[in-house]
Structure 1
Amino acid sequence: MKTIRLFLSTVLCVWCLFFSSINEANVSVHSDKLLASERLAAINQIAQYIDSSYVLPDVGTDVVAALKSAQNIGRFCHINSKKQFIEEIGQFLREQSKDGHLGLTFMRSDKKVTHVLQEHDEKRINNFALEQAKVLPGNIGYFKLNKFHPNEQAKQIASFGLNFLSNTSHLIIDLRQSTGGSMELVTYLVSHFIQKDIHLWDIYERDELAYRVHSHAVDREPQLLSIPLTILTAKTSISAAEFFAYTLQHLGRARIVGEQTEGLAHATGARKVNDWLVLRLPLMRPVNPITNTNWEQVGVKADKEIAKELALDWVLNTL
C-alpha cells in the first residue's frame, strides 16, 4: 500500500509539473498576443505623439502621414504579437524618419517610462563604462569609455581617469565601442579640455531655441587644457560619443582618427503608449555655434579615415 501511495504521489507530481509548464507557455503566448483593436490604438497614439512632439515638425508630419497610409492599406494587418509590433513598426518609423533614435521598446518591469536603455553588455555596465585609463609606452595616455552614463558617480570616475592621465604627453580617447548616454556628462568631460564659459551648442525643441550650453568649471588638472588629444571612432560610435567627438573637433581641440560615425544627433525622450509599450521619441537637437548644424544622418567625419581595427596602432606609430 505504501508503495502504491508513493507511486501515485510521483505520478501526480509529474502531471502537475507537466500542466504547469503548459499553463506557463500559454500565459507567455497569450501575454504577447496583440489584437487588431490594440494594434490600431497603439499606432494612433504613436502618430499623435510624433505629430505633436517630434524634434523636426516637417519630418514628423511626413512620418505620421506614411504611418497612417500604411495602416489604411493593411500593411500591418499581419502583426499579431507585441514583439513583432515593436520590431516592425519601430523599423518603419526609423526608415521613414531616417532617425535611428526613433523607435519602440517594451515597458520596463518596474513600469518606469524612460529613454535610458537597459544595458546588458558588461563593457557598458562595469565601472560606469570606463573600461581603461592607463599609460602606454612612450608616456601616451589611453582612456577607453564605452558609454556616457547618466549618473553623478560616472562624472567622478571619468574625471579621476582623465586627471590620472594629465601628465602624459598625448591623450588618446577611445570611443570605438561607445554608444549614447548623457548630454550632461558630455558637457562635463568636454569642460576638462577647454576654458569655462565657452559656447558649446544651442539646444532646440522643434523650431524653438530651448537653451544654450557652455563649458563650466570642473575639478581638473591644468595640464588637460593643453594636452594633445586624439579621439578614436568607429561606424558604430553613436549619439553621445559623436557629441563629444564633434564638439572637440570643431573647437580645434582634438583630431579624430578612425571611421565616420553613424550620425545620431537628436536627444531622446520617452512617451508611454500603453501598459506594455514605450515610444523613444527624439525631442531636441543640438546646433553647434561654429558649424551652425550637427552630425545628424551624416556622422562625424574623421580627420584621418582608417579602419577601426587599425586606428590605435596608426596613432601610436605616428606619435
Structure 2
Amino acid sequence: MNRVYSSILVLGCLLLGTLSSKAQEQAPSITPKQTQKVIDSVESILKARYVFPEMAQKMGDLIQSNKKKGTYEGLTDPQLLAAQLTEDLQSISKDKHLRVMYNPRRAAAQGRQVTPEDSIRHTESRMARMKFENFGFKEVKILEGNIGYLDLRAFMDTEFASETAVAAMNLLANTDVIIIDLRQNGGGSPSMIQLISSYLYSPERVHLNNFYWRPTDSHTQTWTLPHVPGKRNPDAKVYVLTSSSTFSAAEEFSYNLKNLERATLIGETTGGGAHPGGTVNASEGFLLWTPAGRAINPITETNWEGTGVSPHIEVPADQALEVAQTQALEYLANKTTDPHLQFRYNWVLSGKKAKTDPVQLSKSTLKQYVGQYDVRKISMENGTLFYQREGRPKHALTPLNETEFLVGDMDDFRVRFDQKGGQVNAIVGMYANGRTDKNPKTD
C-alpha cells in the first residue's frame, strides 16, 4: 500500500523528466493513428484500474467522443495532446491526481524488465533525492512559550525517512504545543502519516484511516503504532497549518486529526486529492497517472476528494503561523495555574500582538518620551522612537500600549514610561523574568 500511495511523490519527478526530455530534443509529431492508440490505451487503463468504474466509463466515452468530433485533430505535439487529455479527464472526474503525461524515456524505462542492478541504481538515486530534501523535514524548532514547530514538506516513506522523523519528533517531545506546518506539503506515504501520528497518541492504538484498492478489490487499514522510538507527546495541544497547496497525504494527515479531534486546523481549505494510485504506460510514449484507490475515513466514512479539508480557523496561508502561535499562547496562559508561567506566556503573547496588530500613537504622545534618562536615551526619528543605552546600539521602539514598548528585536527586555503630575519622569526597564529597574528623567 505504501509504495502505491507514495508514488504520488514520483509525479513531480515524472513532470520534471517530461520537461527535461522536451528541452533536450524536439518531440516528434504524433499522427492521428497514434492519437487513437493513446486514447484507446488510456480508456482501457481507466476501465481496469480507476477507482470508480462508472466514472472510468464516462471518461472513456468522453475522450472517444472528442476524438470523433475532431477535438484532438490539430494536436500533433504530444505534450499538448497530453495536456488536453488531462483537462478532459479532469473535467469529468474532478480528480486532481489523474493526469496524462508524455515522456517516452520514462515510458521505455518503466516498460523494460528491471534487473537487480537497475533496482539498486533506482534506490540509490531515490535516496539521494530524498536526502537532498532532508526527507521532507525542512525545519524543526522550539518557539517562545515552549511551542514546538515542524515544517514538513513531504511525507516520505519511513523505509528511508524514519530516522529523520524520529529525531524530529523526539525534539518536540517536551513541548506543550506542537504546530505542524503542511502549507507546502504535496503528499507522500501513509507510513509517515502513521509514524508521526503515533507520537501524538499514547501507546493504545488509534484507527487512522481505511483504503479501498480497486485493482485487487481489497481494503486496508492504518492505525497508530504500539511502539515508537523515544518519547511520545500525547498531551500536547496540536495545530496543523494548511493552504490550498496542501495535497494528498498531507490532506489525509489533516483530515485524520481533525475528525479524531486531535488537532486544530488553521489556514486555507486544502487541494482536494484523496485517491492514491500510480503511473501506467499508455502507448506511444504516453503515461497515465491513475488513482486506483480511495481513502475511507472510519469516522466520516468518506474523504476529502474534490472538496479539500476545511480548517477550523480560516485565514490566508501566510498568516496561519502567526494565528497559530497566538492561539497557542492564549491556550497556555489560560491553562496554567503557575503565576510565573502565566506571566511569561502573556509576555510573549503581548509582544506578538504588538507586531501583528501595531498600536498607533500620535506624534505628540511619542514626543513626550524623548529625553535623557541617566544612562538611557530616547530619541525620535521620522516618527519612530529609539532607545539607546550608553555605549550600546540604538533600537527602535514598538508600542505595546500608550506607555509600554518593545525594544528592537529583544525578546526579554521592554521599557515603560512613568509619569507624575502629567509629566514623564522616569523610564522603567522590564525583563522577561519579572525583574525591573528604573532611571529618572535627567534633562
Query: One-letter code of the match for 1:198?
Result: V
Tell me, yes or no, if the aligned pair for 1:196 and 1:214 is still in contact at 8 Å: no
Q: Write out aligned runs for 1:164-203 (5 A).
A: 164-194=171-201, 195-203=203-211
- For these two proteins, the number of residue pairs brought into alignment is 288
SS in 2 for 1:32: coil
CA distance in 1 between counterparts of 2:139 and 2:244 reads 21
Is 1:247 the counterpart of 2:244? The answer is no
Q: Assess, with a 3 A threshold, how the Cα gap between structure 1 residues 124 and 49 changes in structure 2: closer, same or farther.
A: farther
Deviation at 1:279, TM superposition (A): 0.6
> Which of residues 25, 28, 40 in structure 2 aligns to 1:28?
25
Partner of 1:66: 62
CA distance in 2 between counterparts of 1:223 and 1:186 reads 15
Tell me, yes or no, if the aligned pair for 1:188 and 1:218 is still in contact at 8 Å: no
Tell me, yes or no, if the aligned pair for 1:268 and 1:281 is still in contact at 8 Å: yes
Partner of 2:411: none
Is 1:43 the counterpart of 2:39? The answer is yes
Partner of 1:13: none
After superposing the two structures, state which structure 1 stretch, 202-211 or 134-143, moved more: 202-211
Deviation at 1:218, TM superposition (A): 3.9
Q: Assess, with a 3 A threshold, how the Cα gap between structure 1 residues 88 and 124 changes in structure 2: closer, same or farther.
A: farther
Tell me, yes or no, if the aligned pair for 2:166 and 2:230 is still in contact at 8 Å: no
Deviation at 1:124, TM superposition (A): 10
SS in 2 for 1:224: coil
Query: One-letter code of the match for 1:180?
Result: G
Deviation at 1:212, TM superposition (A): 2.1
SS in 1 for 2:292: strand
Relative to the length of structure 1, the TM-score reads: 0.83
Deviation at 1:32, TM superposition (A): 3.0
CA distance in 2 between counterparts of 1:275 and 1:182 reads 30
Deviation at 1:206, TM superposition (A): 3.6
Deviation at 1:151, TM superposition (A): 5.3
Q: Assess, with a 3 A threshold, how the Cα gap between structure 1 residues 275 and 73 changes in structure 2: closer, same or farther.
A: closer
Partner of 2:424: none
Partner of 2:306: 297
Partner of 2:410: none
Q: Assess, with a 3 A threshold, how the Cα gap between structure 1 residues 131 and 234 changes in structure 2: closer, same or farther.
A: same
CA distance in 2 between counterparts of 1:276 and 1:309 reads 40
Tell me, yes or no, if the aligned pair for 1:264 and 1:295 is still in contact at 8 Å: yes
SS in 2 for 1:37: helix
Tell me, yes or no, if the aligned pair for 1:113 and 1:278 is still in contact at 8 Å: no
**Structure number with higher strand proportion:** 2
Relative to the length of structure 2, the TM-score reads: 0.61
Partner of 1:268: 277
Is 1:285 the counterpart of 2:294? The answer is yes
Is 1:204 the counterpart of 2:206? The answer is no
Is 1:145 the counterpart of 2:158? The answer is no
Query: One-letter code of the match for 1:277?
Result: F
RMSD, matched Cα:
2.5
Q: Assess, with a 3 A threshold, how the Cα gap between structure 1 residues 130 and 138 changes in structure 2: closer, same or farther.
A: same
Query: One-letter code of the match for 1:104?
Result: V
Higher relative contact order (CA 8 A, sep 6+): 1
Deviation at 1:93, TM superposition (A): 1.2
Partner of 1:15: none
Query: One-letter code of the match for 1:203?
Result: F
Q: Assess, with a 3 A threshold, how the Cα gap between structure 1 residues 310 and 163 changes in structure 2: closer, same or farther.
A: same
CA distance in 2 between counterparts of 1:159 and 1:125 reads 18
CA distance in 2 between counterparts of 1:81 and 1:59 reads 27
Tell me, yes or no, if the aligned pair for 1:54 and 1:282 is still in contact at 8 Å: yes
CA-to-partner distance for each residue in 1:147-203, whole Å, 9 max, x for gaps?
A: 112352212212210111111121100000000211222122222222453222221
Query: One-letter code of the match for 1:205?
Result: W
Partner of 2:73: 77
Q: Which runs of 5+ in 1 are unaligned?
A: 1-24
Deviation at 1:97, TM superposition (A): 0.9
Identity of aligned residues (%): 28
CA-to-partner distance for each residue in 1:195-234, whole Å, 9 max, x for gaps?
A: 4532222211249442222222342444412211100000
Query: One-letter code of the match for 1:102?
Result: L
SS in 1 for 2:46: helix
Question: Which has the higher Rg, Structure 1 or Structure 2?
Answer: 2
Q: Which runs of 5+ in 2 are unaligned?
A: 1-21, 112-124, 330-443
Tell me, yes or no, if the aligned pair for 2:31 and 2:76 is still in contact at 8 Å: yes
Partner of 1:309: 318
Tell me, yes or no, if the aligned pair for 1:124 and 1:146 is still in contact at 8 Å: no
SS in 1 for 2:280: strand
CA-to-partner distance for each residue in 1:237-263, whole Å, 9 max, x for gaps?
A: 000100111111111111101111111
Deviation at 1:125, TM superposition (A): 4.9
